[in-house]
Amino acid sequence: MNYSAKVMDHFSNPRNVGEITDANGVGEVGNPTCGDIMKMYLKIENNIIEDVKFKTFGCGAAIATSSIATEMIKGKTIDDALKLTNKAVVEALDGLPPVKVHCSVLAEQAVKSALADYYRRQGVDPEPLVGKLVEDCHDCCENGGCHA
């Protein structure tokens, strides 16, 4: 499987790995079919994502998409982070093999899950702001797509 230099760089040297102990938004998403799990931690102050960290259990593409997603939202407003799409993640990595695109979907969902948690902690219903979160990305992994 051919990966771009950016994917290999973010896999070999992932950015923003770890936990934020006083995070005010934490989201976890997983794909039970292929076993990828992403946990995203956000520290939000005055509507700005001051810090973001992640922990990912999964393949190289899952780690790379988590890493680039954190770079794409760090220092940005919540509104900007909500606009993050899996397509933008794939483009930022100079592409992913088709069987690995589901990893970018997980990265987008992890960010949205953490933002939804942030809103819940503020006493705000997240669904009108964040949208409905996909709990299971089974369709992404059909036909042996995940780790084939």
CB 25 within 8 Å of CB 121:
yes
Two tokens, residue 65: 């998409």
Distances (CA, A) of 40 to 2, 5, 8, 26: 27, 24, 21, 6
133 confidence band (pLDDT: 50, 70, 90): confident
Helices 5-12 and 60-73 pack at an angle, to 10 degrees, of 90
> Per-residue pLDDT averaged across 82-96, rounded?
96
Question: What is the arithmetic mean of pLDDT over 66-86?
Answer: 97
Confidence of residue 131 (pLDDT cuts 50, 70, 90): confident
Local structure of 115: helix, strand or coil: helix
Weakest mean pLDDT among 4-8, 11-15, 34-38, 123-127: 34-38
Of 59, 103, 140, 146, which is the active-site residue? 103
pLDDT in tens, 16-72: 999 999 999 999 999 877 789 999 999 999 999 999 999 999 999 999 999 999 999
Domain boundaries, the chain: 5-120
* The pLDDT of residue 120 is above 50: yes
In the CATH scheme, what architecture does the domain 5-120 have? Answer: Alpha-Beta Complex (3.90)
The pLDDT of residue 139 is above 80? no
Mean pLDDT of the chain, nearest integer: 90
Above 80 in pLDDT, residue 141? no
Active-site option among 34, 59, 137, 146 = 34
- Rounded Cα distance, 41 and 113, in Å: 10
pLDDT > 60? residue 140: no
Look at residue 135 in the predicted model and tell me its pLDDT: 52
Q: Is 103 a catalytic residue?
A: yes
pLDDT for the residue numbered 134: 62
Q: Nearest-5° angle of CA 32, CA 53, CA 75? A: 125
